[in-house]
Amino acid sequence: MIDRTPPAIAAFLAREYQAARAAEDQAQIDQSWHHLERAHIVAQNWLKAHCYSHWRMLALAYRQRDWREVIGQIVRLALAPLGNLTGGLPVGNSRRSDVSAFARMEIPSDLRTILHSTQRQLNRKKYLRANSLQWVVWSPKVKAAYLG
């Protein structure tokens, strides 16, 4: 499985992680969690980014000595690869321990816009790559079969 986080998503995640750290440095822990939750929602579609979002949540919980959250994030970190591989991730879940790991949640409109925009770009690239590959792979066979 190739897991390439699109550049626009990687840039968004970097901004959210930076904002989370800045909020934590200013003792605004709720705001820090807010940024990590937003990052998690966007990162869910890419295994590496998804696991990293849980790692960041685990680290914050540990620094805050929130042992319930630490345990919850360890469990989620262990389950994230399975969810990504099977496609069984609950859409929009912020994935904190106070929320069921299986609950679907509404995706905020600004995050939905980012995800839809990225999905359109990825679909276009897949379409172009598939058509280019099809021409490269099939054109000699087509010529041989149909042109003699």
For 46-105, the pLDDT digits (tens) are 899 999 999 999 999 999 999 999 999 999 999 888 888 887 777 766 666 666 666 777
Q: For the beta carbon of residue 55, count every other beta carbon within 10 angstroms.
A: 13
Q: Is the Cβ–Cβ distance between 107 and 41 less than 8 Å?
A: yes
Whether the pTM exceeds 0.85: the reply is no
Name residues whose C-beta falls within 8 Å of residue 55's C-beta, 6 or more positions apart in sequence: 77
- Spell out the residues 6+ positions from residue 20 whose beta carbon is closer than 8 angstroms to its own: 31, 32, 33, 34, 35, 36, 39, 56, 60
